[in-house]
Structure 1
């Protein structure tokens, strides 16, 4: 096997570049002897990757960058190339997807609840493989066997770059929010993640489901959301979302709001369109280090609104996501709209950052 490979590396100062990096070796990583050498087929470009790459000087300080030079990329689809001496769960030739939370202490209050994604003893980046041992923007990566899942045979490998965001959507909807069948849901933000949230809600029987976006989303993203199951789409540049939700719900409001934009105004909107006693998830700003938004606490208090955040996933979310995709309850194919070879990563990043006719870009490694 070759000793070096091309890898898309992110530096602590945010500089992203394609460089020659060492090929990882079995036995020479923290996962040994349960380590697995993966040959990456595809890796999706997440919004977090774009923000790390595209932050200007003023915003760079707000964006979370790795503490060490590391190959990025976490929406990974790969084939098992070699296995460590104690690996029993996968074998060479298996096509797998990768849980991203690979480090946690196991004994803090969060870990004892099975919430390894928020281990109390580690910084978020120190718990995720693509910030520590390296991710999927290179031909090879190593992963612990316990955080690998064999992909159902009928799921296309390129589409499966969205398995990680699907697991994140399950985490948001079921693990964090406890959304139930029959509950009405407003999803703010019609990107790939928003449409995945919509599909998971539909799969568990929630509804009706309303999706909001802006003018630039109307022709493709909102249209795709409508085609794939949204009961109503709302262009907030053309309609007042507060009035429209009031019309749709008899002035009561929706049971659940899932904010997925990372913008300031939807934070305020979420508190206005949720019903008394309803639930709100704020999730969109986390991928770039959070946002600062004014919050009217009076609304939270007098409406007794439950407000939650979310990050990453737990093992249950992955098992459920693979089941939903494998049984056709969640459809991934239409959401991976573009593909680029690794060598043209800048074209892929530029498209993902600027095009509104794009949902998810996959890099073919």
Structure 2
């Protein structure tokens, strides 16, 4: 594909399972917008669900597909500011040449949720790469005035810097759990979100952080991310192990990060009475559980978590600190021309990937 100075390569959605690499004009920022040269974009499980035609969209029951024809996907983004008016630069507190990561949601600022400070639950719920705004699977993209941008060190490899998006999401799940120093915390799943929850929980210094996964390599990585104990449910009786560690009572907190229905019932049964269940996953299939466990049996607190509100500075600080095994977390990088390989890598549950990224410069 030849390319002129006025055009760029971008992945464009046309329909479920129909994403095309196209040459399109480089966008021109408006007076209140920034132009970003994309350095890296993570590929999320929600990107995969969108590609396969997931039929429910956040906050808009009238949309029957996440795929919006003509939109470029990609929301776990980091890039370099290459242009913007003085007013737009001042609005975001950046300069040309700065590296920024943007939150995935572009809140309207006007709805009840935004007015009450709950911007991550914005009613219109416009998001990069899904709805209204082009995402980062392109060489350049626009950062609108309503976007929430955060500076990131240019010393980091770009695909490491882009991990600030999933890590901020995980930290929000941990914040929802309101951990105490005496808590035994169980994190189910050691994919990008689960590893982030292990990282966040470990930074809260509870009594114990236990990671669950069926993949021993991911459990070993969870140890490096701060887990005190790792358990493979296919090899040990996790109920017996956790009851033994808690005097027979069960865990104080369970954070579900697998997206598999069986992990929900697992969590309800692992928790003690008056325990806390935090759900972060987006599920492909409906989940059925015995709700009497939540009410009559245990009187549990069951909490949801969505996006990563107010957690971005902490996520960026942790990554910049150098304490994480980022080379082992960010396992696979692809160029824009290999978007299908990247999606297939995320879909391969038996594969060795953790965080898959697209780096336009490759």
Q: TM-score, normalised by structure 2?
A: 0.88
Question: Partner residue of 1:270?
Answer: 267
Question: Partner residue of 1:82?
Answer: 83
Q: Check whether the contact 2:16–2:52 (CA below 8 A) recurs between aligned residues.
A: no
Q: Tell me, what secondary structure is at the counterpart of 1:86?
A: helix
1:87-112: CA deviation from partner (whole Å, max 9, x where unpaired): 2111111111111111324340x223
Q: Check whether the contact 1:185–1:257 (CA below 8 A) recurs between aligned residues.
A: yes
Distance 2:17 2:239 in 1: 38
Question: Partner residue of 1:25?
Answer: 28
Alignment of 1:249 onto 2:246: yes
2:97 to 93, 100, 107: 93
Q: Cα distance, 1:18 vs. partner?
A: 1.6
**1:150-229 superposed matches below 5 A:** 150-174=151-175, 176-214=176-214, 217-218=215-216, 220-229=217-226
Cα gap change, 1:191/1:13 in structure 2, threshold over 3 Å: closer, same or farther? closer
Cα gap change, 1:331/1:178 in structure 2, threshold over 3 Å: closer, same or farther? farther
Cα gap change, 1:195/1:135 in structure 2, threshold over 3 Å: closer, same or farther? same
Specify every segment of 5 or more residues in structure 2 that has no aligned partner in the other structure, as ranges.
58-64
Question: Partner residue of 2:10?
Answer: 7
1:106 to 98, 110, 117: 110
Q: Cα distance, 1:157 vs. partner?
A: 1.8
1:348 to 324, 342, 347: 342
Q: Check whether the contact 1:40–1:141 (CA below 8 A) recurs between aligned residues.
A: yes
Question: Partner residue of 2:355?
Answer: 360
Q: Cα distance, 1:133 vs. partner?
A: 1.9
Q: Tell me, what secondary structure is at the counterpart of 1:311?
A: coil
Q: Check whether the contact 2:192–2:355 (CA below 8 A) recurs between aligned residues.
A: yes
Distance 2:185 2:74 in 1: 31
Cα gap change, 1:84/1:169 in structure 2, threshold over 3 Å: closer, same or farther? same
Specify every segment of 5 or more residues in structure 1 that has no aligned partner in the other structure, as ranges.
28-32
Q: Check whether the contact 2:159–2:330 (CA below 8 A) recurs between aligned residues.
A: yes
Q: Tell me, what secondary structure is at the counterpart of 1:71?
A: coil
1:32-60: CA deviation from partner (whole Å, max 9, x where unpaired): x33110001111111111222246xxxx5
Q: Cα distance, 1:128 vs. partner?
A: 0.9
Q: Check whether the contact 1:41–1:78 (CA below 8 A) recurs between aligned residues.
A: yes
Distance 1:100 1:170 in 2: 15
Matched pairs, number: 343
Distance 1:249 1:136 in 2: 45
Distance 2:22 2:238 in 1: 46
Distance 1:319 1:269 in 2: 33
CA RMSD of aligned residues (A): 2.1
**1:225-244 superposed matches below 5 A:** 225-244=222-241
Question: Partner residue of 1:306?
Answer: 301
Cα gap change, 1:154/1:250 in structure 2, threshold over 3 Å: closer, same or farther? farther
Distance 1:206 1:99 in 2: 28
Q: Check whether the contact 1:9–1:18 (CA below 8 A) recurs between aligned residues.
A: yes
Q: TM-score, normalised by structure 1?
A: 0.87
Question: Partner residue of 1:30?
Answer: none
Q: Which has the higher helix share?
A: 1
Distance 2:239 2:116 in 1: 37
Q: Cα distance, 1:182 vs. partner?
A: 3.6
Cα gap change, 1:68/1:114 in structure 2, threshold over 3 Å: closer, same or farther? farther
